[in-house]
């Protein structure tokens, strides 16, 4: 669709340094009103444009060891509070930025519009100054003054790209009720509609300026890549773009991965790969997502947005400032095929502990440099979040910017439902969001991918992590062992762990648990674990742990079988849903009152009591019994089971009960993590289900018990 090329900007490091000293006061090279007239909007504002380099950021980057190698890169200017419009200590005003852009000879200016009422209802680190109901102030004191400045004829020659309100509309889809990530604040914003109204007003007001190109924030694949979120998000974007006078014509495109770390491309595995019969989507890392990187997500989302009614010519931006994931820990090829988790964890370039981790991530690197039209449908790779600016403080810090302390920025925090209760992977000693974070900047330089040319690249890390301790088996079966250990520490941060069986590496993980599968029954094994950091330093091995697997589980041999289809495409919502039917494969009728079926699962965190429902059954829900019981001998993926039975009736030879639609929820409606449940499968048409047991009385007639 468009040719590949790099966003052009002439070498001007010395000029930028000089301007940093000159422009904070009166503007010295202001274009006079009427000096230039706005040209008609172009298809891609980045094509043929020289982008503005922010001297405030550039000076800080150039002052860091090795930072001069990226100090000339263009990035977005953040208007994250009303005071930022007029300038704050160490950062020039919006008008001064625009004057400097004109002085630089730039013809493209990038700015983040970021101050909605009740801003970022799901992350305290990026909370804003306006309360949930202050929509009027957002319009009059924030958007209107910005529009007045951008509309000054002095800047008519600039193509102005606006990034509209990160982390807002996606929260209404995923965090406004009924999920592990939900917050009362997000529920409030969904109910009052002020995110939608604020964005609609911004789109309409700024979109009226002929040289402004609005790009709406659209989260990232690790947020919206599931089918339960993907289309609803596109519908939400359409809704916001058609209120407060806005129309889809006010949206030039969308941006993904804003201020995040999701890999641009995963070169060593695809979402369609399978390992030993298990799809990559079943891995703990992918977690049934339909995308594994930002490029495929952005291109697919663009198609869906056009289907929703946005213009066929909309373009996508991808923030690549901090998603390089380079350094010595970057995989050079596919991971081991011992299990789907080992394969994905060994293949993925994104080395986060969990894709839900977002704050000052350890091991991250500078990504692709700003590039124009790199792929079909992609207007540009951009640096929306300038490298070196903190995502949030690792400890509570008093400030006058309305920014709170979020535990996801604390490296000692063991997480919540949004990140699977894993460590946060955050760097220690971080400042308030938006403030300069030198150690993060140095790590981004060290781990840059593609590698940076020239520069010092920061001080080399040669210190290995401490050895993991307290290695233990938390569960085992005839064919698997689940291990856990106490986290190691490092002078910078631990990037992950290698798990060794009999001295050979059988997998890697970024968390402090691992399940080794494909083992033999009644067999003794010996395990150790080693920690590693982003610089490739490896710890001493933990103390060895001997483990003997269980004897083989029982397998039914009767004349019944179970068929199952998955009616719940999201494995991380707050219900387990399925359709079952029992088939009589024998030659004689079976008394259904003696038949029960067991669907084994694990509830993870949350309530330990359950509710079950029959939504529909060919035999009638009144003839179907159902409830949850704790397994007498818990196994991986099988600490509990849904037991379904029948009040009465006879199942003739060769006959089926017909479909029975069942569901389970915890009494507190907290979320499940079904991906590792023993009985779960992904087929959406009825198929034989050997991991769902069918019992006649107490005898297993079908399936293999865990």
| CATH (residue range 560-702) | 2.60.40.710
| Residue 279 Cα distances to 283, 286, 337, 353, 682, angstroms | 7, 10, 12, 20, 10
Task: Assign 11 a pLDDT band (cuts: 50, 70, 90).
Answer: very low
According to DSSP H, which parts of 309-409 are helical? 340-347
The whole-number pLDDT of residue 556 equals: 72
Q: Residues of the chain with pLDDT > 70: what percent?
A: 92
What is the arithmetic mean of pLDDT over 35-64? 85
Q: Are 515 and 509 in contact (CB under 8 A)?
A: no
Residue 305 has pLDDT above 90, yes or no: yes
Sign of CA dihedral 274, 173, 248, 110: negative
Confidence band for 552, pLDDT divided at 50, 70 and 90: low
Is this prediction's pTM over 0.75? no
Check residue 29 and give its pLDDT. Answer: 30
Q: Where are the domains of the chain?
A: 55-267+292-328+365-411, 469-548, 560-702
Query: At 551, is the pLDDT very low, low, confident or very high (cuts 50, 70, 90)?
Result: low
So what's the pLDDT on residue 36? Answer: 39
Interval 58-78 mean pLDDT:
94
Per CATH, is 55-267+292-328+365-411 categorized as 3.20.20.40? Answer: yes
Token pair of 691 as six digits: 């991991």
Is the domain covering 469-548 a CATH 2.60.40.10 domain? yes
- Out of 8-17, 339-348, 384-393, 671-680, which region has the weakest mean confidence (pLDDT)? 8-17
Mean pLDDT of 195-224: 97
88-126 per-position pLDDT tens digit: 888 899 999 999 999 999 999 999 999 999 998 887 767
As to burial, measured by CB atoms within 10 angstroms (0-12 exposed, 13-18 middle, 19+ buried), residue 478 is middle
Distances in Å between the Cα of 124 and the Cα atoms of 322, 355, 396 are 21, 19, 11
Catalytic entry in 80, 120, 273, 533: 120
Count Cβ atoms below 10 Å from residue 208 Cβ, excluding itself: 12
Query: What is d(CA 627, CA 672) in angstroms, rounded to the nearest whole number?
Result: 17
Residue 255 parent element (H or E): strand 253-256
10 Å CB burial of residue 467 (0-12, 13-18, 19+) is middle
15-29, 153-167, 373-387: range with lowest mean pLDDT: 15-29
Residues 128-136 have a mean pLDDT of 94
Q: Taking a C-beta distance cutoff of 8 angstroms, is the pair 662, 580 a contact? A: yes
Q: Do domains 469-548 and 560-702 have the same CATH topology?
A: yes
Average pLDDT for residues 269-297, to the nearest whole number?
Answer: 94
Radius of gyration of the chain (CA): 28
The mean pLDDT value for 589-593 works out to: 94
- Mean pLDDT across the chain, nearest whole number? 88
Provide the pLDDT for residue 125: 64
Does residue 457 register a pLDDT over 60?
Answer: no
The C-alpha atoms of residue 397 and residue 84 are separated, in whole angstroms, by: 20
Residues in CB range of 270: below 8 A, 6 or more apart: 280, 292
Residues in Cβ contact with 56 at an 8 Å cutoff, skipping those fewer than 6 apart: 20, 90, 91, 92
Rounded average pLDDT over 430-436: 90
CA dist 325 to 95, 287, 447, 460, 702, Å?
35, 21, 6, 17, 47
Strand ranges, E, within 315-455: 315-319, 371-375, 378-382
Q: With a cut of 80, say whether residue 534 has pLDDT above it.
A: no
Give catalytic status of residue 120 as yes or no. yes
| pLDDT for residue 33 is more than 60 | no
Question: How is residue 414 annotated by DSSP?
Answer: -
Question: What would the pLDDT profile of 20-32 be if each residue is shown by its tens digit?
Answer: 333 333 332 323 3
Please confirm whether the linkage preceding 450 is cis (ω < 30° from 0).
yes
Over range 191-203, report the average pLDDT: 97
């Amino acid at each position: 669709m468009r040719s590949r090329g790099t966003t052009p900007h002439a070498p001007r490091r010395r000029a930028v340094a000089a301007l940093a000293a000159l422009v904070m006061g009166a503007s010295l090279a202001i274009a006079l009103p009427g000096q230039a007239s706005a040209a008609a909007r172009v298809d891609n504002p980045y094509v043929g444009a020289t982008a503005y380099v922010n001297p405030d950021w550039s000076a800080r980057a150039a002052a860091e060891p090795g930072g001069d190698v990226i100090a000339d890169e263009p990035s977005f200017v953040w208007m994250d509070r009303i005071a930022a419009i007029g300038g704050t200590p160490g950062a020039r005003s919006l008008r001064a930025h625009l004057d400097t852009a004109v002085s630089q000879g730039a013809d493209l200016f990038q700015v983040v519009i970021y101050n909605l009422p009740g801003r970022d209802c799901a992350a305290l680190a990026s909370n804003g100054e306006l309360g949930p109901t202050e929509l009027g102030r957002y319009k009059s004191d924030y958007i209107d003054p910005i529009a007045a400045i951008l509309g000054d004829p002095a800047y008519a020659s600039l193509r102005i790209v606006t990034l509209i309100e990160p982390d807002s509309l996606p929260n209404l889809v995923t965090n406004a009720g009924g999920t592990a990530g939900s917050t009362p604040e997000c529920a409030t914003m969904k109910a009052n509609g002020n995110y939608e109204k604020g964005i609609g007003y911004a789109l309409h007001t700024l979109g009226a300026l002929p040289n402004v190109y609005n790009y709406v924030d659209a989260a990232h694949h690790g947020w919206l890549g599931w089918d339960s979120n993907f289309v609803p998000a596109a519908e939400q974007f359409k809704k916001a773009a058609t209120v407060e006078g806005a129309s889809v014509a006010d949206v030039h495109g969308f941006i993904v991965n804003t201020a995040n770390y999701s890999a641009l491309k995963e070169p060593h595995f695809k979402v369609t790969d399978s390992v030993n019969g298990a799809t990559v989507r079943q891995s703990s890392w992918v977690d049934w997502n339909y995308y594994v990187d930002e490029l495929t997500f952005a291109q697919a989302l663009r198609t869906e947005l056009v289907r929703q009614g946005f213009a066929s010519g909309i373009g996508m931006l991808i923030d690549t400032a901090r998603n390089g994931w380079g350094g010595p820990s970057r995989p050079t090829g596919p991971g081991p095929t011992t299990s789907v988790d080992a394969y994905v964890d060994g293949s993925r370039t994104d080395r986060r502990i969990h894709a839900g981790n977002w704050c000052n991530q350890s091991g991250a690197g500078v990504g692709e440099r700003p590039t124009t039209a790199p792929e079909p449908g992609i207007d540009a790779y951009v640096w929306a979040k300038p490298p070196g600016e903190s995502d949030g403080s690792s400890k509570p810090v008093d400030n006058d910017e309305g920014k709170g302390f979020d535990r996801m920025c604390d490296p000692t925090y063991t997480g919540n439902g949004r990140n699977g209760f894993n460590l946060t992977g955050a760097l220690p000693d971080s400042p308030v969001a938006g403030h300069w974070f030198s150690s993060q900047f140095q790590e981004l330089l060290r781990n840059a991918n593609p590698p940076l040319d020239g520069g010092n690249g920061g001080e080399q890390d040669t210190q290995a992590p401490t050895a993991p301790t307290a290695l233990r088996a938390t569960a085992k079966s005839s064919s698997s062992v689940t291990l856990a250990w106490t986290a190691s520490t490092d002078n910078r941060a631990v990037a992950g762990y290698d798990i060794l069986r009999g001295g050979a590496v059988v997998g890697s993980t970024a968390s402090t648990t691992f399940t080794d599968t494909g083992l033999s029954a009644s067999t003794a094994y010996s395990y150790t674990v080693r920690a590693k950091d982003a610089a490739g330093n490896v710890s001493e091995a933990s103390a060895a742990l001997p483990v003997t697997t269980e004897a083989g589980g029982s397998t039914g041999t009767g004349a019944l079988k179970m068929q199952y289809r998955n009616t719940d495409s999201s494995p991380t919502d707050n219900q387990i849903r399925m359709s079952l039917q029992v088939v009589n494969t024998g030659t004689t009728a079976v008394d259904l009152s003696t038949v029960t079926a067991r669907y084994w699962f694990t509830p993870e965190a949350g309530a330990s009591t359950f509710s079950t429902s029959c939504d529909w059954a060919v035999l009638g829900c009144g003839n179907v019994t159902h409830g949850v019981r704790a397994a007498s001998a818990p196994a991986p993926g099988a600490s509990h089971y849904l037991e379904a039975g029948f009040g009465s009736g006879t199942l003739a030879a060769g006959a089926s009960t017909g479909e029975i639609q069942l569901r389970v929820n915890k009494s507190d409606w907290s979320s499940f993590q079904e991906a590792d449940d023993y009985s779960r499968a992904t087929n959406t048409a009825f198929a034989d289900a050997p991991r769902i047991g069918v019992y006649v009385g107490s005898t297993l007639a079908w399936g293999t018990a865990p």
